[in-house]
Amino acid sequence: MNATAPLEKTKHYPVMLNQVLSIISPQRGGTYVDCTFGGGGYSKAILKFPETKVIAIDRDRLTKKYATNLEKRFPNRFSFFEEKFSNISKVVKKNLNPKAIIFDLGLSSFQLSDQKRGFSFESKNFLNMEMGINEYTAYDVVNNLDKEYLANIIKILGDEKDGKIIANKIDKYRSQKPIRTSKELSSIINSAKKNYNSHKKNPSTKTFQAIRIFVNQELTQLIEGLIEATKLLSEGGLLIVVSFHSLEDRIVKNFFNLHSNLRRNPSRYLPVKENKSTLYNLNFNKPKGPSEKEVKENIRSRSAKLRYGERNNNTFFYPVDFKKQFINYLKFEDIRIWIVFIIAN
């Protein structure tokens, strides 16, 4: 079977596309950076406006197929780079003066439904879960990582209260034979969550989310991506992020809170200071969500949250406070920590 066959079968809905378009006003032209090209939904919609250019990035090699089509149709207006968005400055130069840098986080429907990728609970294929340009797979993580570390990953990155019980079950199983497929992993998790209310989500949802985030270092990517994108924006440039779970949204919210005009005063008794240490102007503090119509058409959009800010003219400074706030996630996802463990064992 062709490696990309499942891609054609899956219907693709770019989440919150109308809201993104109304924020960026592509009818006025300009250069846009689509940091998460996926099926190309955002890029295609922007390119419909003749005065626009799009630079697209995705870490997933399989998205290249869609990008190649667009490169043929718009040779002077579209370019694609297989790259992680934390490396955005390798492919986008500040003098291109992007009007907006857009992130639509997580997985595309193509990735989710492609059984070979190992993201779905039922997949009998290799336990992979790589988005692309990875250093290790879910197989490596669940079969090699220290039991306590694994329990923490599941608890912290999956917000799964039964992290310890699940890690124990995994440890017991792998002491007999390696866990090779997503289906195998899912049945181990199910056996650890016997009392789970079957009307809720699949009992493996949180653990799969946690392992996927860890394998792809998604929080580190987001933290670095926001900082690197900010370096590239000039006054008036927009940073737009669509996120899908609370860990991501917390990072985006904090980033804008710390570095925008809406930054809260440390105490209401202190005089409000003019804040020169901001990077963004925000018109509102609440995220936007999808319309009811969109949620009806595409249930995956229900958890989407869109936040955006407009770069002001303050000179870029490295957002140390922001990084400090999330240092635990950065340390937690740092591959070197567990390489040391494997070598030691």
Ligand X SMILES: C[S@@+](CC[C@H](N)C(=O)[O-])C[C@H]1O[C@@H](n2cnc3c(N)ncnc32)[C@H](O)[C@@H]1O
Which residues of this chain interact with ligand X, rule CB under 6 A?
Answer: 14, 36, 38-42, 57-60, 63, 84-85, 104, 106-108, 131, 221
Closest approach of ligand X to the CB of residue 60, in Å = 4
- Comparing CA positions, the residue from 234, 204, 2 lying closest to residue 118 is 204
59 or 206, CB closer to ligand X? 59
Closest approach of ligand X to the CB of residue 272, in Å = 37
CB atoms within 10 A of CB 340: 10
Closest approach of ligand X to the CB of residue 46, in Å = 10
127 or 131, CB closer to ligand X? 131
84 or 193, CB closer to ligand X? 84
- Comparing CA positions, the residue from 82, 43, 59, 16 lying closest to residue 222 is 59
Closest approach of ligand X to the CB of residue 98, in Å = 16
Closest approach of ligand X to the CB of residue 7, in Å = 11
56 or 192, CB closer to ligand X? 56
In whole angstroms, give the CA distance from residue 13 to residue 41: 7
Return the residue matching tokens 């056996």: 191
In whole angstroms, give the CA distance from residue 52 to residue 30: 5
6 or 40, CB closer to ligand X? 40
Q: Which residues of 22-40 are buried (b: 16+ CB within 10 A; e: fewer)?
A: ebbebeeebbbbbbbbbbb
β-partners of residue 242 are 104, 306
